């Protein structure tokens, strides 16, 4: 049996600011933005090529914003770095470690993202 992670929740303090950051700066696709009720708004975004989406909004989580850490794997770390930097994301320099190459950035709430390239794996 396959177990497929398809949705991860990310606590944010300002939904519209998060949409602007992830869609307009980072380049994720906005899949869904729906106010279900006065106390519930559901937003779903997906990184290009990912089978797992990210959800945030209002009334979805009791976790405080800024404590999450998510990681994405790419086939070209320098290209990922350059695309993020060109979009205005404050991204770290490429760090080459024995177990992988990494860049990182934080969203406006302080949630941390690591972008990883694994040279020993085909297509990262």
pLDDT in tens, the chain (124 residues): 888 899 999 999 999 999 999 999 999 999 999 999 999 999 999 999 999 999 999 999 889 999 999 999 999 999 999 999 999 999 999 999 999 999 999 999 999 999 999 988 766 5
Q: Are 122 and 76 in contact (CB under 8 A)?
A: no
* Structural domains in the chain plus CATH codes: 7-59+68-117 (3.10.180.10)
Spell 89-120 as b/e; 16+ CB within 10 A means b: bebeeeeeeeebbbbbbebbbebebbbbbeee
Neighbours of 73 (CB within 10 A): 16
Is pTM, for the whole model, over 0.85?
A: yes
- Report the distance separating Cα 58 and Cα 44, nearest Å: 12
Q: Fill in the DSSP letter of residue 110.
A: -
Question: Which helix H or strand E contains 115, and what residues bound it?
Answer: strand 112-117
């Amino acid at each position: 049996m396959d177990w497929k992670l398809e949705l991860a929740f990310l606590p944010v303090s300002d939904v519209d600011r998060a949409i602007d950051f992830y869609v307009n700066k980072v380049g994720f696709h906005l899949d869904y933005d729906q106010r279900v009720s006065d106390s519930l708004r559901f937003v779903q975004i997906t990184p290009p090529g990912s089978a797992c989406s990210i959800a945030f909004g209002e009334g979805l989580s009791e976790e405080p914003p800024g404590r999450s850490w998510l990681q994405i794997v790419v086939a070209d770390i320098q290209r990922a770095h350059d695309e993020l930097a060109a979009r205005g994301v404050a991204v770290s320099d490429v760090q080459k470690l024995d177990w992988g190459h990494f860049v990182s950035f934080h969203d406006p709430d302080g949630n941390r993202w690591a972008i990883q390239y694994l040279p020993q794996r085909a297509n990262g």
